[in-house]
Chains A and B, each alone.
Chain A
Amino acid sequence: MSDVSLDTALGGSGVLTSALSHPTRPFYWSVRRELWENRATYLAPANVAGVLMVGSLLAALRFGRYHDDVSQIDPAQRLGLMELPYGVAALAIVVTMFIVAVFYCLGALHNERRDRSILFWKSLPVSDLTAVLSKAAIPLVVMPIVAFVVIEALQLAMLFLNTVTILVRGQNLSQLWGRLPWLQMQGVVLYTLAVTALWFAPIYAWLLFISGWAKRAPFLWAFLPPLALSLVEKIAFNTSYIGDLISYRLHGFKDAFSEGTVSRAGRLDIVTSPISLLDPLGLLSLPGLWSGLMVAAGLLAAAVWFRRRQEPI
């Protein structure tokens, strides 16, 4: 890769030779262009948040038995119950983001070849490296940021709703405001989004690679071969290395959180300090994180290779 394309890939203005030329930002505009085309990347999380908000509103209008129960139980458990809806709401947004990201990646390098618009993109001074990196940035950077903003807005709205509910019922606000570890909860959300982006990077890169390679049916190419391989392995050798590898990739990131949180996830735990759940050192010491990132880099390099060569389909 030449210096110039690397420079361009990183958003630099490249070499300007003519007096008439003006500075450009190929990477920035390539990301914008992805968002123009794929509005689900931000509309889907926002819509799910809207639905959850309507649900919370309806629950509040029923003067939710939920809060009545809270006052009856052990104060320590009460906090866990208060945190729960916020966590569930955040989880719903993250899952939505993941599903949208999977479909985004499968289409990102496939649709432009199918509708022949790749000939338009390639008629402009944007390198294939910039194009692929800007597409990879959507699930790895842009969508987590969008998810964080949506979760913030949703949780603030829920907090407001809770506050109003409590005031209307003449209860003591300190129950909520004094005890809910709000800032720490936001820290957990941010950390979780960063961890899942890093951990799922090879999944996104695999989907992008398939999207750029497959002539048709990228969805089937992305999911059937790994499934078939693990079945064959099971039948032929009665082992499940491939299956284990896949399932490790799907939820191995739990080691980025403190020991015990997951094993006790079944019952409600008292988490007075959510931030204590985070284990950044545990994350960094995971070999799966680094090997995953290396695989992701390799798959993205292959995607660049294919984007250079593939013709419209």
Chain B
Amino acid sequence: MNCIEARGLRKTYGSTVALQGIDLTVEEGRILGLIGPNGAGKSTALNAILGLTPHEGDLRVLGRNPWIQRDELMRDVCFIADVAVLPRWMRVSQALDYVAGVHPRFDRAKANAFLAKTAIQSSSRVRELSKGMVAQLHLSLIMAIDAKLLVLDEPTLGLDLLYRKAFYDALLNDYFDHSRTIVVTTHQVEEIQHILTDLVFINAGRIVLNTSMEAFEARYAEVMTLPEQASAARALGPIYERQVFGRSIMLFDGLDRGRLAAFGDVRTPSIADLFVAVMGESNQTIGKVAA
């Protein structure tokens, strides 16, 4: 079954168009990275998926209409908006009591086991915890819920490197299995590249790239060319070129790797580099349309 199914999903705020009618299908068991610049419409799309905002177009999440059935949907969907949303006055024990009291699929023993691995005291208030500990607490609560879809909107914002790495490790090792689906947005794309199965770039309310990671690796290649071969390589039409230590690194779309190997080392580009390439392209298009 498709976990998320959107057709012509559109959202406007007054005269501002946040989503220009996007189509998106996310199958069960995928880990989708939703990547885009600020104001691209990522959060709007996630809010629509979570039933936090009304929208136009057709949207089904786990077979339900999120705007009409948010509270039912939340039995099967979890989300972490960002690290700052746990109420600061709440005690850790109260958070456990409350979630256990309202969520039919929360396993308190599991949450306690996750918390036991951290330095968090159950009598502490959220305001007394560090940012990283709040993220650990939230993740412990979420991972103890037997949900089908987990939505993470900038979950590691403001955390240091160690916490960010631990966050994604815990998610992969202790939580993810192939019956669950994860949708994640973040600006720290390089940190999630290895965990994603699918990738969507969104810009100015449109999807500009929608690919599985297998297809991404097959389609895009990056070559660090030797200076004397740069112009020959350039003739093949790289979609993006940057200079590092006097050498040109070129990003190619849909060219055979064997052919590119003649110009230097070929490797899979980082999502961040492809993002810059694709966004530059789509911004130019937007510029042309505007002009």
Contacts and interface: CB of A to CB of B under 8 A. Distances in A.
A119 B85 contact: yes
Interface in A102-149: 112, 115-120, 122-128, 130
Interface string A279-313: 00000000000000000000000000000110100
A118 B50 CA distance: 13
A24 B102 contact: yes
Contacts of A29: 97-98, 101-102
Sort chain A's interface into a size bin.
Answer: 35 or more
B81 A116 contact: yes
Which of A8, A24, A25 has the most chain B CB atoms inside 10 A of its CB?
A24
Interface stretch (B34-42, B65-73, B218-226): B65-73
B146 interface: yes
Given A36-B89, A116-B84, A119-B81, A127 B101 contact: no
Contacts of A128: 70-71
Nearest to A18: B105
A32 interface: yes
A37 interface: yes
Contacts of B68: 2
Given A33-B98, A124-B99, A21 B104 contact: yes
Given A22-B104, A124-B103, 6 more contacts: A23-B104, A36-B90, A36-B91, A119-B79, A123-B74, A311-B53
> Quick one: which of B89, B91, B102 has the most chain A CB within 10 A?
B102
A24 B69 contact: no
Interface string A17-50: 1101111111011101100110000000000000
A124 B52 CA distance: 12
A28 B101 contact: yes
Contacts of A5: 71-72
Interface in B82-115: 84-91, 94, 97-99, 101-107
A4 interface: yes
Contacts of B52: 119, 122, 311
B87 A37 contact: yes
B103 to A, nearest CB: 6
11 contacts: A2-B69, A21-B75, A22-B105, A30-B102, A36-B94, A118-B85, A122-B70, A123-B50, A123-B74, A125-B74, A127-B71
B87 A117 contact: yes
A77 B89 CA distance: 51
B53 A26 contact: no
Contacts of B237: none
Contact of A125 (B50, B86, B104): B104
B85 A26 contact: no
A265 interface: no
B54 interface: yes
Contact of B53 (A17, A116, A309): A309
A13 B54 CA distance: 27
B85 A120 contact: yes
A39 to B, nearest CB: 9
Interface string A182-217: 000000000000000000000000000000000000
A84 interface: no
Interface in B107-138: 107, 138
